[in-house]
């Protein structure tokens, strides 16, 4: 059984339409450790030792957050800056996280077609996530194809419920070994709205 840690960051959860449902669904998945960074550290005073212990105790690290200004809410940056220490996570002797997997789960207001060289956002979504991907790779971790939920403003309550169910299914499949994390490797990303259909298709294409 893979041990999964969800590192969750949403600064305004009470106003969230998407992540409130995704978080509730993830919390119900047996064997998943759900760790809400804003709840735990409202003053950004991150307990580095506790975070390191959590990382060491899990195999798959899920980074779940909304896409803010082409990036992530600020506590994620604080977490990266403080927890992924030189000599522990990277650099000389920094091998503590070697071989662990990272799955980034991101929601974005912008629709998929806006994230292309021709679209308003000029770059692909995957390109915007490059600093995350490379940071984790520097820490000898395997960065999986991110799970992206596009066009959040237009998603209906029913669609959000379906996305949340798909997310929970993905976590369950990873936890039980029905899906091996290696199967989610690759250069693209998984469309969370199309959910497991997209996931199955991308698995078959490999
Ligand atoms: C401060 C802020 C910055 C945002 N930046 C982006 C952005 O760069 N690109 C994008 O597609 N959506 C952006 N959005 C939209 C959010 O990604 C979207 O509202 C969120 O994923 C919906 O999830 P929620 O209902 O859980 O809040 C931004 C929203 C806020 C509040």
- State residue 133's pLDDT score: 98
- State residue 188's pLDDT score: 82
- State residue 58's pLDDT score: 98
Q: What is the residue-level pLDDT of the chain in tens, covering all 206 positions?
A: 999 999 999 999 999 999 999 999 999 999 999 999 999 999 999 999 999 999 999 999 999 999 999 999 999 999 999 999 999 999 999 999 999 999 999 999 999 999 999 999 999 999 999 999 999 999 999 999 999 999 999 999 999 999 999 999 999 999 999 999 999 988 788 888 887 666 666 666 65
Of 73, 131, 152, 192, the residue with max ligand 1 atoms within 8 A of its CB, to mutate for a pocket test, comes to 152
3-class DSSP state for residue 29? coil
- State residue 203's pLDDT score: 64
- State residue 198's pLDDT score: 64
- State residue 21's pLDDT score: 98
Stated length of the chain: 206
- The ligand 1 site (C-beta within 6 Å) comprises 10, 16-19, 66-70, 107-110, 152
Q: pTM for this structure?
A: 0.96
Q: Would you say 60 and 26 are in contact if contact means Cβ atoms under 8 Å apart?
A: no
- State residue 158's pLDDT score: 95
- State residue 83's pLDDT score: 98
Structural domain containing residue 118: 4-205
CATH of the domain at 173: 3.40.50.360
Write out the two tokens for 201.
Answer: 């298709």
- State residue 37's pLDDT score: 98
- Give CA angle at 119 (122, 76), nearest 5°: 55
Q: In terms of Cα–Cα distance, which of 120, 99, 1 is closest to 55?
A: 99
The Å distance, Cα 200 to ligand 1 centre, comes to 27
Number of domains present in the structure of the chain: 1
The ligand 1 atom nearest the CA atom of 152: 22
Of 11, 67, 126, 150, the residue with max ligand 1 atoms within 8 A of its CB, to mutate for a pocket test, comes to 67
Q: From residue 197, give the alpha-carbon distance in Å to each of 60, 146, 156, 192.
A: 22, 15, 19, 9
């Amino acid at each position: 059984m893979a041990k999964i840690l969800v590192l969750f960051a949403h600064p305004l959860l009470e106003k969230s339409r998407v992540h409130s449902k995704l978080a509730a669904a993830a919390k119900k998945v047996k064997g998943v450790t759900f760790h809400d960074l804003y709840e735990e550290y409202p003053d950004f005073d991150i307990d580095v030792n506790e975070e390191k212990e959590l990382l060491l105790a899990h195999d798959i690290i899920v980074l779940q957050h909304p896409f803010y200004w082409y990036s992530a809410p600020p506590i994620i940056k604080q977490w990266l800056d403080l927890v992924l220490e030189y000599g522990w996570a990277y650099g000389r002797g920094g091998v503590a996280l070697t071989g662990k997997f990272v799955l980034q789960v991101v929601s974005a207001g912008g629709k998929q077609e806006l994230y292309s060289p021709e679209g308003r956002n000029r770059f692909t979504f995957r390109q915007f996530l490059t600093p995350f991907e490379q940071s984790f790779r520097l820490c000898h971790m395997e960065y999986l194809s991110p799970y992206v939920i596009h066009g959040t403003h237009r998603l209906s309550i029913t669609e959000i419920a379906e996305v949340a169910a798909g997310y929970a299914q993905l976590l369950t499949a990873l936890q039980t070994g029905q899906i091996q994390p290696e199967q989610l490797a690759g250069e693209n990303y998984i469309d969370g709205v199309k959910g497991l259909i997209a996931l199955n298709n991308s698995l078959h294409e490999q």
